[in-house]
Amino acid sequence: MIIIMGKQFDASHYVPILRWKEAERGALSQLDHAVSASLTPLVELVPENFLKADKSVMNTSVVTNKIAGQLFKSWGERPFFIDLYNLPKETLSQDSSNTLTMLGEYANILKLSLIPVIGINRDIKYKIAVRTVISMFGQGACLRLTLADIEQAGLEKSISEVISTLGVSPKDTDLLIDYQIIDQSAPKFKLISGEIPYLTEWRNFIIASGAFPEDLSKLQKNQKHVLQRSDWITWKNQTTREVSLRRIPTYSDYTIQHAVYRRHAGRLRYSASIRYTAEDSWIIMRGEDVFNRAGPGFKQYPDWAILLCDLPEYCGEEYCVGDKYMKDMSQQTEKTGDASEWLRAGINHHMTFVVRQLATLRGA
């Protein structure tokens, strides 16, 4: 018999969805302790985790050992969700042992608190691997459903089959409804809640969505832009005004990244831009391509930081590590930083900001 130890979240808890790259790892590791205590990250592995600098594929055992070490360094022994949804089948099947099982074995050595994520349409090998990981950690599982999953006939039967295969019950399982890209056509939380079996029995009920654009190419260069945080606004409005909701969902988002993972081929070109989260919006300081030969290149970053730190929305250098980085960069000219460093600062600020927003909203 497996003893499940997972915890229930309070109304001010936060679940940021993070693809496991350098910026996200750094942003997570630099969170203030009080902020870390109020969130549980959902980590998504991506194909880039398995590639060498020359784009050749690394051995799964080597990669999972490295990732376990990175998770320990960035998050320690606190619980986190892990999902391999973005990995192609050839990556998941390149070794005799399932990638998730292998990761679990290394993570168990480091005493991590891993909660595997499963969907109703994952193959049987993945489901068996999730069951194995549940038995290792005793933290239960997270069932992740998309809107397309909910629209399928026989949803209750599909869910029952999954949790039966895993050997868990709803009270041992976190249910995450992933809207992915949120827009005005998205069904209301109240409607979705009515379609969910065992709604009040799940250990935690989480709704995730994202509104950040795929890239900044549609924004005019060398200007400040303000984009609406539709994911946050939708969740806030529907959980504070819809008093008839049977269960208030925990808030989850994709921070300052697009909700749908895209794998880019070839050299990635990008602008020197800063993404900064404010009350109901994102402030975008949009630069130009850093690789333009005749352009200012990476030197744009400190200049944008000066303008950002003068805005009323800037929270101050003591707000979090990300804000201090921005302030420090605005006060010198020797360093510029790169895209990963600025994204790290932006994600660190975003997670801190959301945790404090939720605390204020819920009176914590």
Give residue-wise pLDDT tens across range 106-161: 999 999 999 999 999 998 989 999 999 999 999 999 999 999 999 999 999 999 99
How far is 359 from 79, CA to CA, in rounded Å? 20
Give residue-wise pLDDT tens across range 259-271: 999 876 656 677 8
pLDDT-derived band at 93 (thresholds 50, 70, 90) equals low
Residue 2 lies in a domain: no
How far is 161 from 147, CA to CA, in rounded Å? 19
Q: How far is CA 247 from the centre of its chain?
A: 22
If one counts the domains in the chain, the total is: 1
Residue 308 lies in a domain: yes
Tell me how far CA of residue 17 lies from CA of 40, 113, 178, 328, 360, in angstroms. Answer: 9, 17, 11, 28, 22
- 0.85 cut: is pTM over it? yes
Residue 85 lies in a domain: yes
Residue 286 lies in a domain: yes
State yes or no: pLDDT of 282 exceeds 60. Answer: yes
Q: Kindly state the average pLDDT of the residues 32-36.
A: 96
pLDDT-derived band at 95 (thresholds 50, 70, 90) equals low
* Angle between the N-to-C axes of helices 99-109 and 60-75, in degrees from 0 to 180, rounded to the nearest 10: 50
Give residue-wise pLDDT tens across range 342-353: 999 999 999 999
250: part of which helix (H) or strand (E)?
strand 250-253
pLDDT at 3: 62
Residue 5 lies in a domain: no
Look at the chain and count its residues.
364
Average pLDDT, the chain: 92
Residue 264 lies in a domain: yes
pLDDT-derived band at 94 (thresholds 50, 70, 90) equals low
Give residue-wise pLDDT tens across range 236-252: 999 987 667 889 999 99
The 3-state secondary structure of 87-147 reads CCHHHHCCCCCCHHHHHHHHHHHCCCEEEEEECCCCCHHHHHHHHHHHHHHCCCEEEEEEH
What's the burial of 130, exposed, middle or buried (CB within 10 Å: 0-12/13-18/19+)? Answer: buried
Backbone angles phi and psi of 154, in degrees to 5: 75, 35
Nearest to 327, CA basis, from 359, 349, 347: 349
Strand partners of residue 144? 176
pLDDT at 52: 80
CATH (domain of 152): 3.20.20
pLDDT-derived band at 16 (thresholds 50, 70, 90) equals very high
Residue 149 lies in a domain: yes
Residue 201 lies in a domain: yes
Q: Which residues span the domain enclosing 138?
A: 14-361
**Could you tell me the two tokens for 133?**
């990981």
State yes or no: pLDDT of 64 exceeds 70. Answer: yes
Name every residue whose Cβ is closer than 8 Å to that of residue 30 and which is 6 or more positions away in sequence: 320, 321, 322, 344, 348
Tell me how far CA of residue 139 lies from CA of 80, 112, 171, 231, in angstroms. Answer: 10, 10, 11, 28
